[in-house]
């Protein structure tokens, strides 16, 4: 049996004409090349993510009633050993779609590790990434210090969605994936320890 880790790569933006899937597809290829991951690319545009959250926070009720259209997303987040979030900057933060997906869940993130791939204008997704670190801290998830960033991504990818220069981003992805697999294995062992009351 393969002891590959289950890595969920999450496309955070859902708008029409978005660039997110191009970046996620590139990163998913890097993760498959790395060799230690079974990669599941999750597109939030396919999930029903209402802004009306449950009456009780998922931290208190880990299994709230969720819309039928969210069931597949929840199951795929549950199954993941680790996450990489692909996010643009929207007004110096991350997209509301991503926040909704995060807020509808708790145990699915808790005790797992999260890496980031950012893209946007000058800030390359870093403002979104820094905001997400705070959010995942509250969810008891570990965020990696390594990241991949594409500032002014429209200059870095060609019209077919291929990177013009591949070496540097590939090295950044490899470095992050190395750390991700270490944390994912360490945290999988840690999750087997009974939680504090
Ligand atoms: C609502 C909105 C806000 C944005 N705010 C920023 C921003 O603060 N900084 C930045 O560099 N780019 C910003 N952008 C540009 C996006 O990073 C760029 O459009 C990117 O393609 C968005 O990701 P998406 O195509 O996957 O939706 C913004 C775009 C949108 C739609």
CA 154–ligand 1 middle distance (angstroms):
12
143 lines ligand 1 (CB under 6 A): no
Residues 6+ apart with CB under 8 A from 44: 10, 11, 12, 13, 14, 73, 97, 98, 101
Give the pLDDT confidence score for residue 60 in this predicted structure: 87
Half-sphere exposure (CA, 13 Å, Cβ side) for 168? 6
Answer for the pair 11, 20: CB distance below 8 angstroms, yes or no: yes
| Token representation of residue 189 | 């062992």
Q: Is the pTM of this model over 0.85?
A: yes
Taking only the tens place, the pLDDT of each residue in 48-68 is: 999 999 998 887 898 899 999
Residue 86's pLDDT band, with cuts at 50, 70 and 90, is very high
Answer for the pair 8, 40: CB distance below 8 angstroms, yes or no: yes
Instruction: Report the atom number in ligand 1 closest to the C-alpha of 92.
Output: 8
Closest CA relative to residue 66, chosen from 105, 97, 92, 93: 105
Pick 2 or 97 by higher pLDDT.
Answer: 97
Give the pLDDT confidence score for residue 195 in this predicted structure: 77
131 lines ligand 1 (CB under 6 A): no
Give the pLDDT confidence score for residue 1 in this predicted structure: 59
> What CATH architecture does domain 5-191 belong to?
3-Layer(aba) Sandwich (3.40)
CA 18–ligand 1 middle distance (angstroms):
9
Q: Which residue ranges make up each domain of the chain?
A: 5-191
Give the pLDDT confidence score for residue 28 in this predicted structure: 98
15 lines ligand 1 (CB under 6 A): yes
Give the pLDDT confidence score for residue 62 in this predicted structure: 84
% of the chain residues with pLDDT over 70: 98
What's the rounded mean pLDDT across residues 73-101?
98
Give the pLDDT confidence score for residue 97 in this predicted structure: 98
Pick 195 or 179 by higher pLDDT.
Answer: 179
User: For residue 133, is pLDDT > 80?
Assistant: yes
What's the rounded mean pLDDT across residues 83-102?
98
């Amino acid at each position: 049996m393969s002891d590959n880790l289950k890595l969920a790569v999450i496309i955070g933006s859902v708008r029409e004409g978005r660039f997110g899937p191009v970046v996620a597809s590139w990163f998913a290829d890097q993760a498959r090349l790395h060799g230690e991951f079974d990669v599941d690319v999750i597109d939030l545009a396919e999930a029903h993510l209402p802004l009306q959250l449950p009456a009780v926070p998922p931290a208190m009720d880990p299994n709230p009633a969720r819309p039928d259209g969210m069931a597949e997303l929840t199951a795929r987040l549950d199954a993941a050993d680790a996450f990489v979030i692909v996010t643009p900057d929207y007004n110096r933060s991350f997209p509301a779609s991503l926040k909704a997906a995060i807020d509808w869940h708790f145990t699915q993130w808790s005790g797992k590790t999260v890496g980031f791939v950012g893209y946007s204008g000058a800030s390359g997704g870093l403002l979104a990434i820094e905001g997400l670190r705070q959010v995942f801290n509250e969810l008891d998830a570990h965020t990696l210090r390594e990241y991949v960033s594409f500032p002014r991504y429209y200059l870095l990818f060609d019209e077919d969605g291929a990177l013009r220069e591949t070496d540097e981003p590939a090295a950044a992805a490899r470095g992050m994936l190395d750390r991700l697999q270490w944390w994912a294995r360490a945290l999988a062992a840690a999750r087997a320890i009974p939680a504090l009351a």
